[in-house]
Each structure stands twice: as C-alpha cells, then as structure tokens.
Amino acid sequence: MGQIKNTRILDVLKGSPVDRTPVWIMRQAGRYLPEYKKTRKKAGSFINLCKSPDLASEVTLQPIERFNLDAAIIFSDILTIPDAMGLELKFKDNHGPYFDNPLDDISNVQNLNDNDIDTKLNYVSEAIIETKKKLNNEIPLIGFSGSPWTLSTYMIEGSATKEFRKVRSKIYNDKKMLQTLNQKLVNAISNYLIMQVKAGANILMIFDSWGGLLNTENYINFSLDPMKKIIEKLRKNELTKKIPVILFTKGGGNWLKQITDSGCDAIGLDWTVELSAARKTVGENICLQGNLDPCALHGTKESIKNAASKVMDSYGFGHKHIFNLGHGIDQYVDPDNLEFLINHVKEYSKRYHQN
C-alpha cells in the first residue's frame, strides 16, 4: 500500500500540525443522500447492503465523491458481530435492528460462537479491500465496531428499547452473565478490528452508543474496561499496535478522565459537552472529535454557521481536533446543508492553525 495523500486526520491523531481542522461526519454514508437510497433499493434490504461488498463499498464512497471529506468510514452495521455469533440480525422498516431470540441467561451466552469471526465477517473485509482500491490512497479509511456494552444491550434487549431495563438490571441480578458475554465480545471485536486493519483500515473507531446509561462504577466495569481490553489486544498485535483508535461513548461526558486513561488516541464527544471544558478535563495529550449538535443541520445557513463556529471557537488554537457531529447525521438533513457546513469548517478553522 502506498502513502495516504490527505493525512490531516492521521496528523491530528499524532498531534502534528495541520493547515485546517479535518472533518468527517458520523453516518456520512446514509439515508439523507438520494444516491444512498438508490443503492439501498438495489440491495433489496439493509442487511443485504451490509453483506454485499460491492454495494457497501459503493455507499462508503458516495459522501466522498460529493463532499471532499478528510476520511471515509466503511459502511457496515455495529450488529454484524452478534449476527456472526449466531443471533440472526433482522431489520424492521423504520424500527431499526432487532433479534428474534435475545439472550436471557448465561446458557444463551455460552452458546454464542465467537470463533472464526474473520471468516464469517469476510464480507466486511472484502468491502474494505474494494473501497481502498477505489480510494486510491487519497484519504484514510476508518474501520469500526460497536463496544461490548453496546452490543450487549442489543443482544439482551433484542432491540433499542426505551429504558434498556433488562440489560441494566442484569448488572444487579446476573453480573456473571454480562461478564461472560463481555469476554466473548472482547475476543470477537478485537479479531474483527484486526481483520479490518489487515484489509486496509487506517484508523479504528469504537462506538459505545449506550455507555451513557450507566452509573460511574458500572460504566467502568461493563463498558470502559472491556474497551480497554480491546485496545490492549490491538496494541499487542504487530499489525495494529500503531493504528489510531477513537473511542466514542455517547453520554460519556462525566467520564472523560477515565476514558483518556483507556489508551485510546482520540475521544469522540457528543454535543452535550463543551470542547473547552473537555480539554480541561483530559489534558493536552489526546485528540478530541466532535461535536456539533446534529439538529443544527436543520437550521438556517446562518445558524449552521454560528453553531459550527462556536464548536471551533470552543476548541480554539491547537491541532488535536477532528470536526464531526456529536452523533450520526439523520435521514432528514438536506445534503446542501451538510455541504455548507463542511465548507464552513474548512474555511473558518484555518484561523486556529496559523501558528
């Protein structure tokens, strides 16, 4: 593989100077794009789209062709792992993913198969290889996985429920089940991420969508520690030991200090935390990613500009910021608004990279 041409995000992750703040958008390949909807239709179903390397690669590149972003992120779903472990992943239209047979007790967990994740998820590998070819080393490609806790919530609840009561109660009435599940998931996720790097991913991101449901002790034990173990496994592997890892706990604003100590290279922040406050908490050695309120994209051009400028002003001078939303872009956003945002970030952020 040759050298990546646009190294802004890789530079920022190392703390090297850049000319402007790099930018990519969570869920940048998605339903707000008409071209995505076309490919999705061609695939027949969301799950087919994930499992067809050529189509997954096609949608991965759509936002890159449109917006000139600083990174691509491979198109996939965080629930491919539970699917590969034996829980059949299904999707209801407008209701998100679900499993018909969620995990009830430790025997269900013991029946899960965390071996041969590479083989079963080979379609992700192929999608990455194909995407890398087409990217032609212009920009880096991000690989990703859901966090063990986040995968546990779906695997135990069956879907994203309102209060996540079943999985949260397991902490108090069946800790053993969760711990056993965590072990399997740490194993599977680590192998999955290593596989993605083998296929060509340049950066890894762990999405902890539901860590924010926990209290501090439970967050550390059931969400952060397993993520830490994954990072340790990556660091011990020759291939992945230097791959930058971005860790994003939605609702994790109270635990930024602890997240910093996990060994990750960057912390993803949702929009409820101010970058300036986050920087004070985490010190100077770690990169921050985020954190525009995704709803700002439903505003007027003027308000998008204001809101995005405030994010950059809050960060201020320095080279350890990757601009992003505080959560995934939603399907109702006008792509023109996103283009306007990206251009504004590129232009406005220059002032903070003069030194």
Task: Report long-range pairs for 180-184 (Cβ below 8 Å, ≥24 apart).
Answer: 180/106, 180/109, 180/110, 181/103, 181/109, 181/112, 181/148, 181/152, 181/155, 181/156, 182/148, 182/149, 182/152, 182/222, 182/226, 184/85, 184/109, 184/112, 184/114
H/E element, 186: helix 175-199
Residue among 16 and 272 whose Cβ is closer to its own copies: 272
Whether 351 is catalytic: no
* Residue 59 neighbours by CB distance under 10 Å: 25
Residue among 92 and 241 whose Cβ is closer to its own copies: 92
Is 317 exposed, middle or buried (CB count within 10 Å of its CB: 0-12, 13-18, 19+)?
A: exposed
C-alpha to C-alpha distance for 42 and 130, rounded to whole angstroms: 18
- Candidates 4-12, 146-154, 183-191, 296-304; binding stretch for its own copies (CB under 8 A): 296-304
- Could you tell me if 50 and 77 are in contact, meaning their C-beta atoms sit under 8 angstroms apart? yes
C-alpha to C-alpha distance for 224 and 190, rounded to whole angstroms: 14
Whether 8 is catalytic: no
Asked if 102 is part of the footprint of its own copies (rule: CB under 8 A), the reply reads: no
- Could you tell me if 338 and 25 are in contact, meaning their C-beta atoms sit under 8 angstroms apart? yes
> E strands within 49-202?
72-73, 89-92, 96-99, 141-146
Residue among 85 and 312 whose Cβ is closer to its own copies: 312
- Hey, which residues does 145 pair with through a beta bridge? 206
- Position among 9, 103, 296, 329 found at the interface with its own copies (CB under 8 A): 296
Reduced to 3 states (helix: H, G, I; strand: E, B; else coil), residue 25 is coil
Q: What is the DSSP letter of 318?
A: -
Backbone phi and psi for residue 325, each to the nearest 5 degrees, phi listed first: -80, 170
Residue among 201 and 307 whose Cβ is closer to its own copies: 307
- Could you tell me if 97 and 154 are in contact, meaning their C-beta atoms sit under 8 angstroms apart? yes
Residue among 203 and 282 whose Cβ is closer to its own copies: 282
Whether 20 is catalytic: no
Which residues, numbered 311-340, are part of the site for its own copies (CB under 8 A)?
326, 330, 332
Q: How far is the CB of 260 from its own copies (least distance, A)?
A: 16
Asked if 303 is part of the footprint of its own copies (rule: CB under 8 A), the reply reads: yes
- Position among 15, 31, 293, 340 found at the interface with its own copies (CB under 8 A): 293
Residue among 244 and 326 whose Cβ is closer to its own copies: 326
Q: How far is the CB of 32 from its own copies (least distance, A)?
A: 12
Asked if 217 is part of the footprint of its own copies (rule: CB under 8 A), the reply reads: yes
Q: Which of 20, 32, 70, 77 is catalytic?
A: 77
Asked if 343 is part of the footprint of its own copies (rule: CB under 8 A), the reply reads: no
What are the residues whose beta carbons fall under 8 Å from the beta carbon of 306, sequence distance 6 or more?
A: none
Tokens of 79: 């629930």
Residue among 300 and 355 whose Cβ is closer to its own copies: 300
Is 254 exposed, middle or buried (CB count within 10 Å of its CB: 0-12, 13-18, 19+)?
A: middle
- Candidates 30-38, 43-51, 146-154, 266-274; binding stretch for its own copies (CB under 8 A): 266-274
Asked if 216 is part of the footprint of its own copies (rule: CB under 8 A), the reply reads: yes
Which residues, numbered 142-181, are part of the site for its own copies (CB under 8 A)?
163, 165, 168-169, 171-173
Q: Which of 36, 154, 192, 219 is catalytic?
A: 154
- Position among 86, 212, 318, 335 found at the interface with its own copies (CB under 8 A): 212
- Position among 102, 251, 318, 335 found at the interface with its own copies (CB under 8 A): 251
Instruction: Catalog residues that contact its own copies under the rule CB under 8 A.
Output: 163, 165, 168-169, 171-173, 212-219, 251, 253-254, 271-274, 277, 293, 295-296, 298-300, 303-304, 307, 310, 326, 330, 332
**Which residues are tagged catalytic?**
27, 31, 40, 77, 154
